Structure 1
């Protein structure tokens, strides 16, 4: 059976910094939907310490681009049974 990497983990597909910035500028990432910068950095530190983080950006547990998702107030670490950070009220 072939290795089933997530789309973002495949060599032929990489989300660029410009694409991430365009996404962060959308209404889905409005200030009221984001955590503060300190919480964001704590979340990313927890991700960087995780063996599931690929290329410093992509979570192999869920396929999300963590430098984008970590901003969202209502998101939590997707690692089953081993969350490294929780959603914010």
Structure 2
């Protein structure tokens, strides 16, 4: 793969289920910092319908790996002027 390919397209950046579980166990993803599972799924569904989502993983608007970022309460869709989901208090 070329160096210009998105992160989500590179094997080294693919987030496995085991890695996701380890991330969710860290203090950065403490339950008070995460959204509910239903909200997470709605956020991912909004991302999946966006042309900026590359390979179902990486947001071309910000470069984030969305299956990780979508869990965070304080994060919002990074698409300028067209946010598909908002942060939560």
**TM-score (ref. length: structure 2):** 0.82
Deviation at 1:18, TM superposition (A): 2.6
Q: Structure 1: give runs of 5+ residues left out of the alignment.
A: none
2: distance between equivalents of 1:3 and 1:84?
Answer: 29
Match of 2:43 in 1: 43
Cα deviation code 1:10-31 (max 9, x no counterpart): 4x53333332322222110000
CA distance in 1, matches of 2:29, 2:82: 26
The answer to whether the Cα contact below 8 Å between 2:29 and 2:72 also exists between their aligned partners in 1 is yes
Instruction: Map Cα deviations across residues 8-67 of structure 1 (whole Å, 9 max, x no partner).
Output: 344x53333332322222110000001111111111110000011111111111111111
Checking the alignment, whether the CA contact within 8 Å between 2:69 and 2:75 is kept in structure 1 is yes
Partner of 2:55: 55
Contact 2:77-2:85 at 8 Å conserved across structures: yes
**Distance in 2 of aligned mates of 1:26 and 1:46:** 26
Separation in structure 2 between the aligned mates of residue 80 and residue 4 of structure 1, nearest angstrom = 22
Q: How many residues align?
A: 87
Unaligned runs of 5+ in 2: none
CA 1:38–1:15 in structure 2 vs 1: closer, same or farther (change >3 Å)?
A: closer
TM-score, with length taken from structure 1: 0.82
